[in-house]
């Protein structure tokens, strides 16, 4: 599972479990205002598979799905807002707050390694003029140019 597009941040992980559902997309575009994947009523996912790994349900899609669409869960028979659901984990950098706010007891953003990491200082910057914020947090900055302002360490 995973590591198919880019292994810079990790290799695929071997998972053993039970296939609970195997369905074809599309899913409903649940995003407010048609964001995260187009303005159409549906988003093509290709094949969707739900795998039980212990008490975890892992939903995998053949195609990339941008955005936090609850319909990806319901398409494979899961209710992300149901009483039996204790935790929902999304691989989504944006939109999850709008989509899930008010439907969950709590929401936590996890800053995981990968190309969509919020911590830009974690990337191996090689061709960037320094100092630059936020890579160099100790710098001071003031508006203007020359002796009137600019970056200083």
Q: What secondary structure does DSSP assign to the chain, as a single string?
A: ---SS--TT--------EEEEEEE--EE--SGGG-SS-SSSEE---EEEEEEETTEEEEEESS---S--THHHHTTT--TTSTT--------SSSHHHHHTTTSS-------SSTT-S-GGGS---S--SS-TTTSTT-EEESSSGGGSEEE-
Confidence of residue 113 (pLDDT cuts 50, 70, 90): confident
What confidence score (pLDDT) does residue 153 get? 47
> Look-up: residue for tokens 């695929």?
12
Q: Any idea what the Cα angle at residue 28 is, between residues 23 and 32, rounded to 5°?
A: 150
Prior bond of 75 cis (ω within 30°): no
Question: In whole angstroms, what is the distance from residue 41 CA to residue 25 CA?
Answer: 13
- The number of beta carbons lying within 10 Å of the beta carbon of residue 146 is 6
| Most confident range, picked from 54-58, 137-141, 145-149 | 54-58
- Which residues are bridge partners to 150 per DSSP? 142
Summarised one tens digit per residue, pLDDT across range 59-80 is 999 998 877 889 999 999 999 9
Q: What is the mean pLDDT of residues 42-69?
A: 92
> What is the C-alpha to C-alpha distance for residues 115 and 8, in angstroms, rounded to an integer?
9
Task: Quote the pTM value.
Answer: 0.74
């Amino acid at each position: 599972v995973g590591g198919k597009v880019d292994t810079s941040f990790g290799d695929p992980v071997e998972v053993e479990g039970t296939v609970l559902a195997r369905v074809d997309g599309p899913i409903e575009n649940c995003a407010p205002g048609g964001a995260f994947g187009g303005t159409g009523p549906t988003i093509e996912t290709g094949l969707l598979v739900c795998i039980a790994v212990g008490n975890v349900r892992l939903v995998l899609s053949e195609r990339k799905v941008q955005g936090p669409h609850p319909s990806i869960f319901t398409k494979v028979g899961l209710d992300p807002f149901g009483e039996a659901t204790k935790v929902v984990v999304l691989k989504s950098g944006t939109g999850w707050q709008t989509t899930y706010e008010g439907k969950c007891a709590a929401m936590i953003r996890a800053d995981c390694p990968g190309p969509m990491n919020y911590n830009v200082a974690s990337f191996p910057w090689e061709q960037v003029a320094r100092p630059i914020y936020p890579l160099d947090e100790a710098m001071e900055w003031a508006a203007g140019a020359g002796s009137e302002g600019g970056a200083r360490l």
